[in-house]
Amino acid sequence: MRTSSFLVAVASALAALSLADSCRAEDFTAKDVLEDTKLYFTAPMRWDVNDWLYFGGALAAIGVAHAYDGDVRRHFAVGDRAILNGRDPNSLRDAIPAAAVVVGTWAFAALADDSAGRVEAYTMLEAAGFSLVTTEGLKFAAARERPNETTHVNEWGQGGSSFPAAHASVAFAIGSVLAESGGDDYRWIRRILGYGMASATVYERLHDNVHWLSDTVAGAAIGISTAQFTMNRRAERAHRWELSVEPMERGGTMVSLRVTLK
């Protein structure tokens, strides 16, 4: 089974699971998803200096990682893992941790009747979905062969599906939402769990010799940036209404409520 096909199935299953409770998440609707989709795929048109610096930094990191692609492959490609058969027998295993994070977040929120937790789970799903679509598009364009298909690091345009790493992009998308959501009281725990899960996923993909190092770095960059986009959108939706209290010149207090309608 192709890795991408499996991840699409996992994302679909998780989305179906969450629909049972979606009507109760007042801050996350189908209209929001459509709006987010439009804004996500047109985002480069609105990038500021910081966004372009992040993009440039990501490209630089991918370039540095590419310089070590061969070394990393030689480190991990030993024994049966050195066989050029193109097989990926552990694709399911490597996707389970990210899926478990989403299911666990959704289940805990459902049991606690926590609207914020439900929105966090939906944000994970949205980030995973956007990351997966982006990754699949780049895979088709790059068509790079995997390290278990060739020993040459620059086999681009050969019909492969190596670059970027889909498991890495989805894991970092979900893990980043877990790490950076919620209050700061348990931030360090969230970051250990979120980034730890994503990093472990990347390690397993490298260990099994199914991705080059630069594939995973590119996937991580996509996942982190996509998670940041979805969390920013969640924050904007949370501020659809604003309450302000201001003193009046002639005494008294003015209370105003501003509601943003979309």
Q: Give the span between the Cα atoms of 114 and 99, in whole angstroms.
A: 20
What is the arithmetic mean of pLDDT over 118-127? 93
Helices (H), the chain: 3-22, 30-41, 49-67, 69-76, 91-112, 115-142, 166-180, 187-207, 213-238
Q: What is the pLDDT of residues 169-217, one digit of tens each?
A: 999 999 999 999 988 889 999 999 999 999 999 999 999 999 999 999 9
Indicate the SS3 state at residue 241: strand
**Structure tokens given for 5:** 């096909």
Q: Please give the model's pTM, rounded to 2 decimal places.
A: 0.84
Q: Give the span between the Cα atoms of 169 and 252, in whole angstroms.
A: 54
Look up the domain containing 133 and give its range. Answer: 3-259
Among 178, 168, 257, residue whose Cα is nearest residue 217 = 168
pLDDT of 248: 62
Confidence of residue 235 (pLDDT cuts 50, 70, 90): confident
Confidence of residue 12 (pLDDT cuts 50, 70, 90): low
Higher pLDDT pick, 116 / 198? 198
pLDDT of 26: 46
Query: For the chain, how many structural domains are there in total?
Result: 1
Q: What is the pLDDT of residues 45-63, one digit of tens each?
A: 999 999 999 999 999 999 9
Q: What is the pLDDT of residues 151-160, one digit of tens each?
A: 999 999 999 9
Higher pLDDT pick, 4 / 201? 201
Residues across the chain: 262
Higher pLDDT pick, 112 / 257? 112
Contact assessment for residue 115 and residue 103, using Cβ atoms and an 8 Å cutoff: no
Left (φ > 0), alpha (ψ -120 to 50) or beta: where does 165 sit? beta
Confidence of residue 130 (pLDDT cuts 50, 70, 90): very high
What is the arithmetic mean of pLDDT over 238-259? 56
For the cut 90, the answer to whether the pLDDT of residue 134 exceeds it is yes
